[in-house]
Chain A
Amino acid sequence: MIIIIMMAGFYTVISQGNLIKKIAGLNIFQVSVFLLYISIGNVKDGAVPIIESDVTLYSNPLPHVLILTAIVVGVATTALGLALVVRIKESYGTIEEDDIHEMDNSL
């Protein structure tokens, strides 16, 4: 399941010519990795990792904490990427990769 999402995202990044769609693909790709981490943290029959007196087996909370950092990084990346797209749109007037290549070769 995770691998399907991963490949879908990765394929979008590579195949799409639209810069916004590329970033969406990148996001899907990253989210699949978040899911991968979270699935690693699951312990069979483990309870939610909050200390209670009658529970002895907990899920591993560490991957969640790690991925929280990665989510923040992902947000920052997306924000920066979108900001760049805005600037590209301002100076080129288009966000299609092929058009941009064409314009720069003619310069």
Chain B
Amino acid sequence: MIEQHISLLIVAIPLVLAPVVAVLPNGKLPWLATTVIAWAVFMLAWQQLEMVSGGTSISYELGGWPPPWGIEYKIDTTNALVSLIVAGIAAITMIYASKSVTREIQESKISLFYAAFLLCFTGLLGIAQTGDIFNLFVFLEISSLSSYALISMGKKRQALTAAYQYLIMGTIGATFFLIGVGLLYAMTGTLNMADLAVRLPDLLGHGTVNTAFAFIMVGFALKLALFPLHLWLPNAYTYAPSVVTIFLAATATKVAVYVMLRVIFTIFGFSEIAATPADEIFLVLCVGGILIMSFYAIYQTDSKRLLAYSSVAQIGYMMLGVGLGSMLGLTATLVHLFNHALMKGALFMAIGAIVYQIGSSQIKDFAGLGKRMPWTFGAIIIGGLSLIGVPGTAGFVSKWYLVLAAIEAQSWLLVIVVLVGSLLAVAYVWKLVEVLYFQDGEAGTTEVKEAPLLLLIPTWALVVANVYFGINTDLTVGTAETAVKLLLGGGS
């Protein structure tokens, strides 16, 4: 029974329970409910991945209407992996949230906060699960609207302007996507992704189809903050409450990258993309993003903003794999999706723990904290090493595949870019480490203690995962390779 409906349940459980959480009394109860929901969905997502890991796919017909008329949830290895990332990060973030949210969100808004969180969670899972392109737009808006609300709950008043800016840019992005979908519908008469893939090859090269593709790409480039459309991201991540930053940084952009993959490889097929200048444009933007954003990161004075710029650079790495369009490149993209969620999650959690203790995210206020908060500091070091891509951490695995893909494509320039990007990462991670460990704190900071256990456990869970997936790559690389085979096989 459960197995049969698993793909629907993953989306439906948080959606149905979000209003219930909203009316719960403030206090511990909403947190408890959300945590249980997140872990339940995580278990389901895990089971779903096991069901499709052999390369088979599940097709779920909503309301019993057969596709292409009804909405279909089509799950293959790629979706299942993305759903697992989203659900896993949400589950771990919820443990972290119990302390952090009580400190950062007003008492009277706690149940609303968790309700918005669940809606955002639903939206992201829905995007990952659905096989219908208009349904995807609806879920995209569910997740976006709730994330604007979540960001605006930040303590500083800049959180409001950050949320507003994100709302404007996010809505433009989503509307662009909608235009693209409308044009595709006009040309093919279908909204089902698999059906689109069948009907589009006859129409390729047609002006309207190309326009549709361009609109969808630009729309999602805005959503995933591909350089130079990233302007909303640093502010949003800096001023949002810690929990929201962790969750969005680790999942929202990843889901947008997944949609790019779907549209490019499943719906259009890479051969179509190779015929347009899109893949070259991607490569140029990615290279620009990696280098320029890493430089920006070095000069930031706020730790959250530093990590936010580094996120934009990391998105460059992911899209680099897409731009290369080869088996290895895509594997690198998917593995990096997973690994970057782990490392950015761990880093933002560690920074969040410091903010929890000292109430500031300015790097200069961190002086000397490394000795007083050894566990948090350790998490930043290992997370940072993973970000740089040191062997033995998860970051190394994805960079390794990316470099292999670049070598395979004979583009030595890209190899150099990846390596220079890593060197720049050394610079900005070092900036944090230097202040934390080698500078002496001011007199007032002596009473700062280690972060509470409830913040440290999820942080270290992600840190350990970073190391584990750096050594044992069966799950990540194996799953990614199966997924890539399906993407490349199904599209062209």
Q: Residues on A close to B: CB < 8 A?
A: 10, 13, 19, 22-23, 26, 29-30, 33, 36-37, 40, 63, 66, 69-70, 73, 76-77, 80-81, 84-85, 87-88, 91-92, 100, 104
Contact = CB atoms under 8 A, between A and B. Distances in A.
Contacts of A33: 175, 178-179, 182
Interface residues of B, number: 26
Contacts of A77: 141, 145, 167, 171
Nearest to A65: B134
A77 B173 CA distance: 13
Interface of B: 134, 137-138, 141, 145, 148-149, 152, 157-158, 160-161, 163-164, 167-168, 171-172, 174-175, 178-179, 182, 185-186, 191
Contact of A91 (B138, B148, B157, B182): B157
Contact of B164 (A10, A40, A63, A81): A81
Nearest to B186: A40
Given A66-B185, A81-B168, A84-B163, 8 more contacts: A30-B171, A63-B182, A69-B134, A73-B174, A76-B145, A80-B149, A88-B161, A91-B160
B172 A80 contact: no
B182 A37 contact: yes
B161 A100 contact: yes
Contacts of B186: 40
Contact of B185 (A63, A76, A104): A63
Nearest 7 interchain pairs by C-beta: A91-B157, A73-B141, A40-B186, A84-B164, A88-B160, A37-B182, A87-B160
B182 A92 contact: no
Contacts of A36: 179, 182
A29 B140 CA distance: 18
A37 B149 CA distance: 28
Describe B's contact surface by its main secondary structure. helix
B168 A26 contact: yes
Nearest to A36: B182
Nearest to A76: B145
Given A13-B172, A92-B157, A66 B167 contact: no
A13 to B, nearest CB: 6
B93 to A, nearest CB: 23
B171 to A, nearest CB: 5
Contacts of B158: 104
Contacts of A70: 137, 178
B210 to A, nearest CB: 16
Contacts of B137: 70
Contacts of A40: 182, 185-186
B168 A22 contact: yes
B164 A19 contact: yes
The CB with the most chain A CB atoms within 10 A, among B137, B175, B185, is that of: B175
Contacts of A92: 157
B152 A84 contact: yes
Contacts of A23: 168
A33 B186 CA distance: 13
